[in-house]
Structure 1
Amino acid sequence: MAISGIHNILIIGPTNSDKNVDLSTALYDTADILHKLGYKTTIIVENPTALLSSGDFFDRVVVEKVNGENVLNYVNQFRPDAILPTVGDRNALGIVSGLNGKISTTKVLGTSYFAALATFKRELFISKLNQNKLPVINFISSDDEDELYDFIRSIGFPIIARRRFSNRHSSGWTNINNLFELDNFMALEDDKTTKIEIERSIRGFSEYSMTVVRDRFDNAALIGTIEDIEPIGIHHLDSNLVSPALSLNDSKLQKLRNYSIKLARVFDIVGVCTAHFALNHKTGECYLTEFIPRMSEETKFLEYATCYPLATVAVELNLGYQLDKLQLDSGNSFNGAEEPFMDHITSRFPQWNSKEQRYIGPSKTSDSSIIVNGFSIEEVFNKGPLNDKLNDNLTRYEQLHKLDDDQLFEKIIHPTSWMLDVLLEAIRRDFELPVLSEVTGINMPYLVVLKRIMENSAIIRDDAVDEENIERLVEMGVKGVGYSKVLLDRDEIVTKSVVKSKKSISVASENFENRNYFVTSGISNDIEMTDRKKIVVRSPIITSKKNIMVRQFVLLQLVKSINQNGLEAVIVGREPWSTPLEIRDIAYEIADPHMELRHLNLIPNESVFKIIDFSETLSAEDVENNEVFQISSKKIKSLDVKGETTMRIIVVSDGDNFTIPSIIFRKSINDKSYEISSFNNFLTQPEKNEILEIVKQELSDNNQINVFNFELVKSNGHWLVTLISEGMNGDIIRHELASSVHVIDTLVKMILGNKFKIGMDIDEIFYNDDDEYLVTINDKKFETFDFKETQTLLNEEIKDY
């Protein structure tokens, strides 16, 4: 039963969508379920493009800097019944911790003041864990040398130490292994106000994280486990992650599970909580290193890996629902207390934009990540970090092959983003696995896996594929052999690449249809599809955080539009899409990192109405196929002309006629820039005529259905075209949010055969009846203005636009 007295909820959103794109679908799911359950919602967010929605679920969107002052001002003015910070980022917890005693009767859902504060104040975290006999790394911060030495004697070596200066800055952590190194560190000259911080070193320990859910009645469940293949000392997001944690035996798993649930109980977490652990397999030492009482990148990864709807479950628990009596869509019941049991392995591996080696350590350096699935760790490695199509591993191998043993060992000691390739080369040279495990801190099972992969590569390189090893190679995810004559001459399904449903015990129920698949090997194909006509959407591979946001938004709107128009969407990608819950039962999603699906003929051709390619990987066959429709961004024209006044225009064409539903105006004045969306309504009639003639002229030879993006610069009182591209670029989210015309849905209708009215007048072509305008100042500060406020801004600040 939900907590009574809650009707209006303020959701604290993330601060920067480019850094927190994993929270976007969690935010979307949260708003969706609150809307279906009948709650009024307001979100405070800095960048509204993080919402993935034009505000369907929000009764009010406050576009302000997400800080304590603005949250408090909203609470004092509108008096919401509750605040929900758990789908914001770490900043949201900081805001909550600072609101204690200031918000009267407004409840904080999910995370208490003390729990929020403990995520920032390490001494509070340690004190609370010590009181409750949970294993934690004690530390000291002192300027008293005797006190420091007494503390070191109590914990022993190795330790790490740093200086904390009076201006709140600190030196980097120094590893200290013995008394001699400690004396040298202490002998360095100090300012009298400097304190020294010391704690037990856990460098080289294995790192695990456990995510649990808990309700207000103290029912709890472990939803998933994650293991970092690289040891502690390398940033969590620069490590290759595997779920479930494969190197934990049952006794260790149960110990960490119990610690996680006890931690959630100690801080009275209602909702979701992730606990990080450091574990030394040799000594048995185990420490809690961090807890995250909110949605995070890890929870979104686990939501995909387990199919467990974590965001929806967490918000219902926040509202007071019992764990085994939840509702997925305000109608279907869901038992959230059943712990998922995965029949597959899911891995997330980091990606760097540069192909060069990058040294990795405590600070995050990766730019993005890719998720893959498999039934063996060999398959996961071959699909992911060792996939030459994604990572250019062949070039890495050639460079590493030229190093002598000493140079190679140097790269083993100082890990880089090529760590697994380095280890493969070391194994090829017969470096001993126990030595490699000791030096790198990587558990032996993963080194054994790398050895098997290396042996398989040798078989392929020597052209030794035969009846005896073909099945083993295919089952381990080695591609390129799957279409060999040896394989094709055999009838057994075990040798063929197929599509396998991703299953976990607790959610494989009649009330929760799972349409999430991945291309794998060696398992009978179990994809089942309805007879409805389908549109296949090929999803792009992601190279940056901003690209993820565009993909999430475009795929969400495409699936909704395809479904509303009576067809069924099949999303095929080289990496999975973190799908919002409401989309999961109306679309199939197939992860296909080697792009094999088109050759498997598992989707009947007669059931495919159209293929929409958003992947930038059109083959010659696709170009000749009229059924393939490309919407990825493709440059048509470019001129290097700069100007202080520019416009970005989106044009939707049916091949004969077009509309211009959204215009983004930009003006730079001295060191300040302004961007105004939905600028259609501020154009004069002569300006509309001029823009219309420009678009007609540029598209005169183009008779295809698509979205076109124009960039214009004002030069000598006239508009000049500087860039034209077709397809979906980074502006699509803003155009959708800013326009009363849904661009993506309009495009889908054109693909299905609809046409614009012939002979539209100029006002119909530029039609946009938005009454709120998104204004961005200096590319950072987002605000929403009404027509009068925007007109005042144009007249008084921007002037002579």
Structure 2
Amino acid sequence: TMGGQTGLNCALSLAKHGVLKKYGVELIGASRDAIDKAEDREKFKAAMTKIGLGSARSGLAHNMEQALKVQAEVGFPTIIRPSFTLGGSGGGIAYNKEEFLTICERGLEASPTHELLIEESLIGWKEFEMEVVRDRKDNCIIVCSIENLDPMGVHTGDSITVAPAQTLTDKEYQIMRDASIAVLREIGVDTGGSNVQFAINPADGRMIVIEMNPRVSRSSALASKATGFPIAKVAAKLAVGYTLDELKNDITGGATPASFEPTIDYVVTKVPRFAFEKFPQADSRLTTQMKSVGEVMAIGRSFQESLQKALRGLEIGVDGLDPINGDREQIENELSDPGAMRLWYVADAFRIGMSLAEIHQLSHIDPWFLAQIEELIAIEKEVSSRNLAALSAAEMRVLKRKGFSDRRLARLLNTDPAKLRETRHGLGVKPVYKRVDTCAAEFATHTAYLYSTYEEECEAQPSDRKKVMVLGGGPNRIGQGIEFDYCCVHAAFALREDGYETIMVNCNPETVSTDYDTSDRLYFEPLTLEDVLEIVAIEKPFGVIVQYGGQTPLKLARDLEANGVPIIGTTPDMIDCAEDRERFQQLLHTLQLKQPPNRTARTPEDALRLAQEIGYPVVVRPSYVLGGRAMEIVHEQRDLERYMREAVKVSNDSPVLLDRYLNNAIEVDVDAISDGQEVLIGGIMEHIEQAGVHSGDSACSLPPYSLSDAVQDELRRQTVAMAKGLKVVGLMNVQFAIQDGIVYVLEVNP
């Protein structure tokens, strides 16, 4: 029940083949029957009918003929879900017969049991989730209710979600609560956490159960972070026989047992992050198949505050509800057929004067959420007619309470963020930090799990120990994910062993670094200059580490240093030296190391001319990016022209780098660690793919399988030379290419 769908499917097939029986192994947490009952669509439907809960009209099919028969009963639009798959893969929504046939073919292949569930469409219904925990004595608690801002039809992993649920009446909430406990009892989940999903028809209030996962899911991770109640940890203890009243709540220092339902006096919003810019061919419309690659979570005292904090935490170049475009036709399309940016189009719809009713009709987003966004847009309009000097402290505080970032306000007031911050501090408007304590401040808490808000009382109570702050990696994306989090967590552990107090700043609910017990103090905040500076101001750390969170903290390093924040490890100036092409070239020149012929272009015309100089094929990329975003191998002038049109937008007028592509070269990664004097080589990895396949997509072998000792020694020598040249303190990764026995340096990541 802990390893997601993979673990469940694996356990079921072990049970089916008699392996568990043969070795006398028992499945704890959820029995085979319970898993089967929850996962097998037909059994689940029968179970729901038995306890008097509605479910969607549907039928099962194992081939095309059956599929068409069921479809005739439920009508279009039809939802198709293959059994035993994760993230809705293989499924989809069909509006006509053609689409229906294509999706069914794909679905039958995707399902390990070649089984499809075909059901009536609930598109436009409101979607809710309940996180329930049950022990072997039948004690049940609801950890958290979650409401999806996006209505049914968008996979819950791709929806903006809010906890606790905002638009349920108390009576509806109680009905849903009782229903979710009844579901657990009927399915027979003996112990542990489960997640039950409901849909409500806003027109007549009809409630149905969509599905139930007898395991921890993405939502459980979110609910754990949202409430401070560690679902997986508790579920593991319940599986071996503890009961809820025997387990103590860590956060209240044991003052309350785990059988107390968490109470929350704040609002949590989760916003997904997509990577469509990497896959321009992919279909960017959101459906029942999950497409997001990461998510960001934010905590605030109101929905508006937590939403705006989450938006700036996404790191997609927005500071809040930035305008995208004002073309009515496009806005209407985006509202009715959602893509990754739907929320911003909702804001734009209000800007061009569409009414709340029109927007609701197109998007089916609950009017309560729309009213909240409408109010934010009205405030923005009002602010943009003011000037900074005329704002009073009270007005500034109201704006900050609504979650507006300094950068967004600066843009509205036509000034720069630094000036705005200075004025705000001058007015004495600073955030306070509140604790997540699972009990709405009823009991004292010893755990420092904090979020910022603009109120009166600050609960941060910083200590006067020597402390180090680690900046995390923000939301997962392609090329920056859990591997960076692993480094952050180990950095926190190591510093704690050395007697420092550790402070973690991150906003990604999927990570270990955002567990309240990984570091001494956790700030669940967006990784933006404004938010980090406010935390530094209150905590006054001895040093801040920016090396482990990937590109996210590196982008902040220079500005943090300029604002007097002590950065420990490799200096921001040296990080810049490695990232800035022209400075790096000078360094290699001084050290007499080779790189492939390269040039730096600042305009499209430059690029075409310089490419001629170094000769095609050319590798092009913007500077300061991670995971090869917008990086391409270009073989002729026509491709380069297209690239310059599309990519210069990516790099916000910072230059584009051109490298000669080395045909048939071997690419090698060398990882090293240095204390500023001595350099230790961690390993030399040889890529199995040829140079030009991104190192994240290439298979590697450690140790290298085809490099002579002489070449390996040369790689070591060059790595050490660069580490000393860059005065690296900490980690460093170098990518080399070897062509005809000559070693070229491709890049260095400090």
TM-score of the pair, normalised by structure 1: 0.68
Q: Deviations over 1:35-60 (max 9, x none)?
A: xxxxxxxxxxxxxxxxxxxxxxxxxx
2:13 matched residue in structure 1: 98
1:326 matched residue in structure 2: 247
Out of 22, 47, 51, the residue aligned to residue 132 of structure 1 is: 51
2:305 matched residue in structure 1: 379
Are the equivalent residues in 2 in contact too, given 1:641–1:722 (CA < 8 A)? no
CA distance in 1, matches of 2:301, 2:558: 29
Out of 452, 465, 469, the residue aligned to residue 536 of structure 1 is: 469
1:342 matched residue in structure 2: 264
User: Once the 2 structures are TM-superposed, how far is the Cα of residue 478 of structure 1 from its aligned partner?
Assistant: 1.6
1:260 pairs with 2:180:
yes
Q: Deviations over 1:642-700 (max 9, x none)?
A: 6575542222122222111333344569x9997443679x9987566444433344445
1:370 pairs with 2:296:
yes
Are the equivalent residues in 2 in contact too, given 1:347–1:371 (CA < 8 A)? yes
Out of 160, 175, 183, the residue aligned to residue 78 of structure 2 is: 160
The equivalences for 1:493-642 within 5 A come to 495-505=429-439, 513-542=446-475, 544=477, 546-573=479-506, 578-579=512-513, 583-584=517-518, 586-597=520-531, 599-600=533-534, 603=537, 608-614=541-547, 615-616=553-554, 617-620=556-559, 622=561, 627-629=566-568, 635=579, 639=596, 640-641=661-662
User: Once the 2 structures are TM-superposed, how far is the Cα of residue 149 of structure 1 from its aligned partner?
Assistant: 9.8
CA distance in 1, matches of 2:738, 2:68: 71
2:238 matched residue in structure 1: 317
Q: Secondary structure at the match of 1:608?
A: coil
User: Once the 2 structures are TM-superposed, how far is the Cα of residue 308 of structure 1 from its aligned partner?
Assistant: 0.7
User: Once the 2 structures are TM-superposed, how far is the Cα of residue 363 of structure 1 from its aligned partner?
Assistant: 2.4
User: Once the 2 structures are TM-superposed, how far is the Cα of residue 603 of structure 1 from its aligned partner?
Assistant: 4.4
Q: Deviations over 1:427-456 (max 9, x none)?
A: 233322133223321111111101110111
CA distance in 2, matches of 1:657, 1:185: 64
Letter in 2 for 1:103: L
CA distance in 2, matches of 1:277, 1:654: 55
Q: 1:625 to 1:593 in 2, by over 3 A?
A: closer
Letter in 1 for 2:452: V
Q: Deviations over 1:50-109 (max 9, x none)?
A: xxxxxxxxxxxxxxxxxxxxxxxxxxxxxxxxxxxx121212211222233431221001
2:745 matched residue in structure 1: 722
User: Once the 2 structures are TM-superposed, how far is the Cα of residue 426 of structure 1 from its aligned partner?
Assistant: 2.0
Q: 1:90 to 1:162 in 2, by over 3 A?
A: closer
Q: Secondary structure at the match of 1:251?
A: helix
User: Once the 2 structures are TM-superposed, how far is the Cα of residue 573 of structure 1 from its aligned partner?
Assistant: 3.6
User: Once the 2 structures are TM-superposed, how far is the Cα of residue 217 of structure 1 from its aligned partner?
Assistant: 1.1
Q: Deviations over 1:688-740 (max 9, x none)?
A: 64444333444453434232223344544x4624334233xxxxxxxxxxxxx
Range moving further from structure 2, 688-697 or 232-241: 688-697
1:768 matched residue in structure 2: none
1:66 matched residue in structure 2: none
Q: Secondary structure at the match of 1:118?
A: helix
Letter in 2 for 1:381: L
User: Once the 2 structures are TM-superposed, how far is the Cα of residue 411 of structure 1 from its aligned partner?
Assistant: 2.9
Are the equivalent residues in 1 in contact too, given 2:311–2:318 (CA < 8 A)? no
Letter in 2 for 1:219: N
Q: Deviations over 1:1-35 (max 9, x none)?
A: xxxxxxxxxxxxxxxxxxxxxxxxxxxxxxxxxxx
1:655 pairs with 2:676:
yes
Are the equivalent residues in 2 in contact too, given 1:647–1:666 (CA < 8 A)? yes
Out of 731, 734, 737, the residue aligned to residue 707 of structure 1 is: 731
Q: Secondary structure at the match of 2:152?
A: coil
Q: Secondary structure at the match of 2:725?
A: coil
2:325 matched residue in structure 1: 400
Out of 129, 142, 152, the residue aligned to residue 222 of structure 1 is: 142
Q: Deviations over 1:212-271 (max 9, x none)?
A: 111111111000111110100112122111111111121111111111111111122111
CA distance in 2, matches of 1:145, 1:724: 54
CA distance in 1, matches of 2:243, 2:284: 47
Q: 1:185 to 1:664 in 2, by over 3 A?
A: closer
1:459 matched residue in structure 2: 382
Are the equivalent residues in 1 in contact too, given 2:533–2:560 (CA < 8 A)? no
1:798 matched residue in structure 2: none
Q: 1:146 to 1:583 in 2, by over 3 A?
A: closer
User: How many equivalent residue pairs?
Assistant: 613
CA distance in 2, matches of 1:684, 1:146: 63
Q: 1:260 to 1:546 in 2, by over 3 A?
A: farther
Q: 1:147 to 1:299 in 2, by over 3 A?
A: closer
Q: Secondary structure at the match of 1:109?
A: coil
Are the equivalent residues in 1 in contact too, given 2:504–2:519 (CA < 8 A)? no
User: Once the 2 structures are TM-superposed, how far is the Cα of residue 367 of structure 1 from its aligned partner?
Assistant: 2.7
User: Once the 2 structures are TM-superposed, how far is the Cα of residue 536 of structure 1 from its aligned partner?
Assistant: 1.6
Are the equivalent residues in 1 in contact too, given 2:311–2:320 (CA < 8 A)? no
User: Once the 2 structures are TM-superposed, how far is the Cα of residue 525 of structure 1 from its aligned partner?
Assistant: 2.1
Range moving further from structure 2, 262-271 or 461-470: 461-470
Q: Deviations over 1:166-220 (max 9, x none)?
A: xxx99954358xxxx99x999xxx9xx9999753331110001101111111111
Range moving further from structure 2, 109-118 or 697-706: 697-706
Letter in 2 for 1:434: A
Consecutive unaligned residues of structure 1, counting only runs of 5 or more, are: 1-85, 728-801
1:433 matched residue in structure 2: 356
Out of 668, 682, 685, the residue aligned to residue 664 of structure 1 is: 685
Q: 1:343 to 1:620 in 2, by over 3 A?
A: closer
CA distance in 2, matches of 1:318, 1:507: 30
Are the equivalent residues in 2 in contact too, given 1:388–1:394 (CA < 8 A)? no
User: Once the 2 structures are TM-superposed, how far is the Cα of residue 474 of structure 1 from its aligned partner?
Assistant: 2.0
CA distance in 2, matches of 1:584, 1:395: 33
1:200 matched residue in structure 2: 120
TM-score of the pair, normalised by structure 2: 0.72
Q: Deviations over 1:365-385 (max 9, x none)?
A: 323221111111111222233
CA distance in 2, matches of 1:213, 1:394: 35
Letter in 2 for 1:336: A
CA distance in 2, matches of 1:517, 1:526: 8
CA distance in 2, matches of 1:689, 1:644: 18
1:677 matched residue in structure 2: 702
Consecutive unaligned residues of structure 2, counting only runs of 5 or more, are: 83-88, 109-113, 411-419, 548-552, 586-594, 597-660
Letter in 2 for 1:544: R
Are the equivalent residues in 1 in contact too, given 2:8–2:35 (CA < 8 A)? yes
Q: 1:128 to 1:457 in 2, by over 3 A?
A: same
Are the equivalent residues in 2 in contact too, given 1:204–1:231 (CA < 8 A)? yes
Range moving further from structure 2, 587-596 or 412-421: 587-596
Q: Which has the higher contact order (CA 8 A, sep 6+)?
A: 1
Letter in 2 for 1:312: K
1:300 matched residue in structure 2: 221
